[in-house]
Amino acid sequence: MGIISPAERLLAAADLHEPVETGLLTVDLSAIAANWRKVAGLAGGAECGAVVKADGYGLGQAAVMRALAGVGCKTFFVANLLEGETARALAPDAAIYVLDGVVPGCAPRLAAADLRPCIGSFAELEEWAAAGATLGRKLAAALHFDTGMHRLGFPPRAAGEVAARAHGIAPTLVMSHFLSSQLPDDPVNARQIGDFLAVRAHFPGIAGSIANSSGVFLPQKPHFDLVRPGYALYGGNPTPGVANPMRAAARLSARIVSTRDLGPGDTVGYDGVWKAPRPSRVATIGAGYADGLPVSATAAPGKPAGEAVVGGVRCPFIGRVSMDYIVLDVTDAPKVAAERGQWVELLGETIDVEELALRARTIGYEVLTRLGRRYARRYVG
């Protein structure tokens, strides 16, 4: 028998299922599927699609689309051509809409991947019709109308002209986008619904869609023919101000890489923004803003700091959130849970995406979509 080196002994003893990364993102695909079913049930007779842009809101476009297709989703929305090409490879038979519309020069690739651009200008309309003429067929597309976002889309007053000039394409959807659907009492919602109804009158027989996640929950039930939830599918709250009706889909943990004891007056992190008010024990975790944790979660006068759960105890971020590390005050946490190598919760059963966003003075959408690629990822359910 040969001599076994110390390195070989360590490798033999290692748990190969334990992530070597210092951050772990666990995505619950069954929760995403359940959230889609819930929204589909609320939509009545309308079809329920899914917005899977930004890498499935940061949780992985491929895994998310497979899970949604598995429960019956047949229509997907992405932001741009590249996301659309990826979606087409994942869902060969699905209807896939590209929210960017027809970016100059992209028409041939959009058509080759059988993607449906959301057209919001006459220039796009002409380019898409020309691409179809080259191919000898009319190409499918959505017609996007701007009822208040002032971002993308035809003005509602142009609906008649759009209808007259759309003869060179095959419209499959007329759509708009709410700007305040998360505020059910905002009168702008009713005004947008009225404008959209007026637009739709110019396109008989073509499906209509205006409801995003929060729009599905509006009292007017503006579901029309297709709803297109995004944030709610991934566990975000589509009804701010009341309990979240959706299941959490993401859990984020980070590993403690270092601990130390501080005396009163010792500072932590860049610029010494935190000073120990008492003898303190602190722990450094291997995650930072390069991993999508907002630097704005740093503690500051007048705002709450981000927190992690260590052995069941909430422990605040102290010092600045830096690129690769966050320091926690673990003085009050169980010592056994606050040792090097232990895992702490940043997002999960105790701290949901809405709370993390609130403590960082941002929105849950940003928290999810910025989740970094350095995490080990595990898909469950």
Q: Hey, which residues are catalytic here?
A: 53, 270
Amino acid found at 147: T
Distances, alpha carbon 314 to alpha carbons 264, 332, 333, in Å: 21, 9, 8
Residue 222: other Cβ atoms inside 10 A: 23
Which tokens in the block code for residue 34? 């359940």
DSSP class of residue 103 equals: -
Measured distance CA(379)–CA(239) in Å, rounded:
27
Cβ density class 6-31: b for 16+ within 10 Å, e for less: eeeeeeeeeeeeebebbbbbbbbbeb
Residue 248: other Cβ atoms inside 10 A: 17
CB 26 within 8 A of CB 60: no
Contacts of 72 (CB under 8 A, 6+ apart): 40
CA triplet 167, 173, 175: central angle to 5 degrees? Answer: 115
